[in-house]
Structure 1
């Protein structure tokens, strides 16, 4: 399958999730805008902390959020990441504490939605209740799949899956049929997201360059052989 054909196949699958996100975002911005707060977080700022209860659930409009925990030696580890269009803090809906720290990896704009108002609205609007629950289930499935890639996949497959997630927003086909992806994070941030060292990530990228699969320059990736990239 040619680069362009495979690229459009992947982005077509991703578009279903993007459509759901846009519809949900429009709802929160228009229908219940009085109880939705838009908050800006700077890079490395904590949004919510492990072990604490919250009055809100959150929807990322722009930026990336990482999930972290500290080990017994008080060292912080990343064990997941979230992107624009994704919810977090869902445990607040059932009055449970956060199970992770949520930290802004980049500058973020995030919608904080009052959990009590949302629950009341869902109780009185059955159609929205059904739609919103489907969105949450799909979000949890996507997050679970991503977690599986982080835990079970090798460093190379983890990196390629991360790049593929950016095709819709940051990818395009050039005149020669190559896939061009301009990421909004640098290598150090990608390594942090994927819970690997900068050296390991650099080695993975160097191997793919040597094999003629990609070319890179700062936050820019050119994929010359998408078939081999996704395998």
Structure 2
């Protein structure tokens, strides 16, 4: 069955400032509207694209949450990232014209489809768009470096604290609460992303709860002491 597609308009989208450059005039926005022709609905648990598939488009997440995963040599699933509304997904395919990971919806989601050849064509004419595409790519590189740093040098508590602070910061930029969130991913998926065992993630959440830093009820999480989380990530250096 064909995915549900409808005409989309970037110019009227409330997420525009998150995934489109701000300094576009009305005419340039209308041209982008023509490129971003359709929206696509993805059911929870379904894939937006799979590793090895031909790369044709970038996707702006309009609603919902995704995880990207790669298969390890021994067949396990390694989570490489979590993406939310207002973020662009699919950049992994630019290098080799094939996707290098799977993108799976963690809840029912909707994406705007941006055919890459048309986006490239238009970005040669609209400087702000070209700059924006480069900025998105750069942000992805910086994010990957951040993850490598996280996995390379941090203890379990630091990793989980950094993950929660990053998540709540990104959600806050989208108008959500600075302190309350629903975890769309499982503890196991968080562990896979952070390079930790499931038990370690669960134990760390429990410890944060006991210390009065967070309150966890199944997938609902409330940050009670953001400063304490920040101190775990960046402990004061003693002189």
* TM-score where L is the length of structure 1: 0.74
Contact 1:80–1:147 (CA<8 Å) still a contact in 2?
no
- Residue number in structure 2 paired with 1:217: 217
- Residue number in structure 2 paired with 1:10: none
In the alignment, is residue 21 of structure 1 matched against residue 21 of structure 2?
no
Contact 1:69–1:78 (CA<8 Å) still a contact in 2?
yes
- Residue number in structure 2 paired with 1:156: 157
Closer, same or farther in 2 for the Cα pair 1:186/1:199, shift >3 Å? same
- Residue number in structure 2 paired with 1:14: none
- Residue number in structure 1 paired with 2:180: 181
- Residue number in structure 2 paired with 1:74: 75
State the Cα RMSD in Å: 3.1
Greater relative contact order, per chain length (Cα 8 Å cut-off, separation 6+): 1
Closer, same or farther in 2 for the Cα pair 1:227/1:94, shift >3 Å? closer
* TM-score where L is the length of structure 2: 0.71
Contact 2:35–2:114 (CA<8 Å) still a contact in 1?
yes
Once the two structures are TM-superposed, the CA of residue 122 in structure 1 deviates from its matched residue by: 1.1
Please say which of residues 217-226 and 21-30 is displaced more in the overlay.
Answer: 21-30
Closer, same or farther in 2 for the Cα pair 1:60/1:72, shift >3 Å? same
**What per-residue deviation string (whole Å, max 9, x for no partner) do you get for residues 173-208 of structure 1?**
xxxxxxx31225264454455454443222001111
- Residue number in structure 1 paired with 2:208: 208
The size of the alignment, in residue pairs, is 207
Structure 1: gaps (5+ residues): 1-17, 173-179
**What per-residue deviation string (whole Å, max 9, x for no partner) do you get for residues 23-49 of structure 1?**
449979854223322111112211111
2:64, 2:221 → 1: CA distance? Answer: 19
Closer, same or farther in 2 for the Cα pair 1:48/1:216, shift >3 Å? same
Contact 2:66–2:82 (CA<8 Å) still a contact in 1?
yes
More helix by share: 1
Residue in structure 1 matching 2:168, options 166, 169, 175:
166
Once the two structures are TM-superposed, the CA of residue 126 in structure 1 deviates from its matched residue by: 2.5
**What per-residue deviation string (whole Å, max 9, x for no partner) do you get for residues 78-107 of structure 1?**
222222222222254455211212222222
Contact 1:191–1:198 (CA<8 Å) still a contact in 2?
yes
Question: Any residues of structure 2 matched to 1:22-41 within 5 Å, and which?
Answer: 23-24=20-21, 30-36=30-36, 37-41=38-42
Closer, same or farther in 2 for the Cα pair 1:99/1:93, shift >3 Å? closer
1:187, 1:158 → 2: CA distance? Answer: 16
